[in-house]
Structure 1
């Protein structure tokens, strides 16, 4: 099974690149974040022409998450109980066989002195409580998305410069650690000791070409999933301005490959 997670920074703007990515990687599931569109304007018909159907939790102009799958998804949940900002579309959950998948777009936080930063910490607390209440570490569970947190100093290009600031603060990292110590394993770190690989580069100051990156897009999994994860790669080509059609997202896709047992795989459809 191949799963791709990507903050596209506007699904309609990035549609030609999404279609090309589906053809290039042929994933079983594509998890998208920061759609910046509602459900009625999501390009579901265009993606259906590529052989994928979409499940959307959208919001006009900002936020939004989606799953684009080869086979129908089950047990779909939009949002989560206890969300402190329920008007923001940030979490979507579904099942593929017995595998539970959650795609997330965590609150950015803006700066450590802002109101948004306090909201971010409350959101992380609430999300962690919900995830723990609805799952067990022994369950096959995969949580992917843009966490807007660099887990440690290996995950930012200039750790001394950014230490203590938003995305790299101790409080954010403690909240992320509180989530992972329950029973989630960082799949990228299973295959790459670091530093990096980075997944985000600001559009400004030539950050991509200078190597000024961050690893804030994560794939976290319980042990049953981690044991079968054979590879995690960042598709850096997708971030290059010269690659593909139109301007790239400021994030690169995370490509997760698993040797999934039969009961996790999408069920074949009749006909």
Structure 2
């Protein structure tokens, strides 16, 4: 089973790219972030025509998450429990392919700067995410958390740690948010495998950042221990970042061996 995450930075602009990539890579489940698409405008039919169900939670111009799946969802839920938040950042489904798997797609706040009100929101949001996941793990032992976390968890995930030191996405406090997710029993699947150095999932559009590989690894797939045991690979596919009018992010994929 091939499962992936991709911040597409506008579903409307990149729909043909997304469908083409889905089919070429035989993706079973794709989590999308920054769809920037209200629910009544979601291109459900376009995905259905190529064999996929769509589950979505969106808004106009900002945020928005979706899960595109070959499997029909047994359950669908929206947002974080007990958190009144107008920003559409979380959607969860349960699917079954011999085993039941909980798929949670997240678009975490950026935070803007460490001194801003948006960073206070980021701190609060991650606290709520942590509380939510503690409960989810009790209910769903086979759990995968995919998305744009807006955190580079270690210096190995940053093209130049000295330049980024104590800045947004790379600060010690944000890294502590990520570590808290690991501490509740999740595993960074990318780091479960030997990886080449300087692999990133996001590059700024400016200053030839992609060509110079000045990026960050901020898109992650975390999973419960039972999923780690099924995971055969995790990698970053840079190919879509070479497209004409690409997203500034590129997909991260895992392959699960499920009999």
TM-score normalised according to structure 2 size: 0.95
CA shift for structure 1 position 61: 0.9
Q: 1:208 to 1:194 in 2, by over 3 A?
A: same
1:165 paired residue among 163, 167, 179: 167
> Does the 8 Å contact 2:110/2:150 carry over to 1?
yes
Q: Which runs of 5+ in 1 are unaligned?
A: 262-271
Can you list the C-alpha shifts for 1:22-66, whole angstroms capped at 9, x where unaligned? 111111111100000111111111111111110001111110000
Q: How does 1:123-202 map to 2 (within 5 A)?
A: 123-136=125-138, 139-193=141-195, 195-202=197-204
User: Tell me, what secondary structure is at the counterpart of 2:162?
Assistant: helix
2:228 paired residue among 208, 226, 229: 226
User: Tell me, what secondary structure is at the counterpart of 2:210?
Assistant: helix
User: Tell me, what secondary structure is at the counterpart of 2:91?
Assistant: strand
The answer to whether residue 91 in structure 2 is matched with residue 92 in structure 1 is yes
User: Tell me, what secondary structure is at the counterpart of 2:233?
Assistant: strand
The answer to whether residue 245 in structure 2 is matched with residue 247 in structure 1 is yes
CA shift for structure 1 position 101: 0.8
User: Tell me, what secondary structure is at the counterpart of 1:109?
Assistant: coil
CA shift for structure 1 position 218: 0.3
> Does the 8 Å contact 1:3/1:256 carry over to 2?
yes
CA distance in 1, matches of 2:239, 2:140: 35
CA distance in 2, matches of 1:44, 1:255: 23
Residue of structure 2 equivalent to 1:34: 34
How many residue pairs are counted as aligned between the two chains?
256
User: Tell me, what secondary structure is at the counterpart of 1:209?
Assistant: coil
Residue of structure 2 equivalent to 1:114: 116
Can you list the C-alpha shifts for 1:54-89, whole angstroms capped at 9, x where unaligned? 0001111110000111121121001011336x1000
CA distance in 1, matches of 2:234, 2:227: 13
> Does the 8 Å contact 1:105/1:145 carry over to 2?
yes
> Does the 8 Å contact 1:138/1:223 carry over to 2?
no
> Does the 8 Å contact 1:152/1:173 carry over to 2?
yes
> Does the 8 Å contact 2:104/2:146 carry over to 1?
yes
> Does the 8 Å contact 2:101/2:140 carry over to 1?
no
What is the RMSD of the two structures over their aligned residues, measured on CA atoms?
1.4
CA distance in 2, matches of 1:82, 1:234: 34
> Does the 8 Å contact 1:137/1:184 carry over to 2?
no
Residue of structure 1 equivalent to 2:215: 213
CA distance in 2, matches of 1:141, 1:196: 28
Residue of structure 2 equivalent to 1:102: 104
CA shift for structure 1 position 134: 2.7
1:257 paired residue among 246, 255, 258: 255
> Does the 8 Å contact 2:102/2:140 carry over to 1?
no
CA shift for structure 1 position 114: 0.7
The answer to whether residue 67 in structure 2 is matched with residue 67 in structure 1 is yes
TM-score normalised according to structure 1 size: 0.91
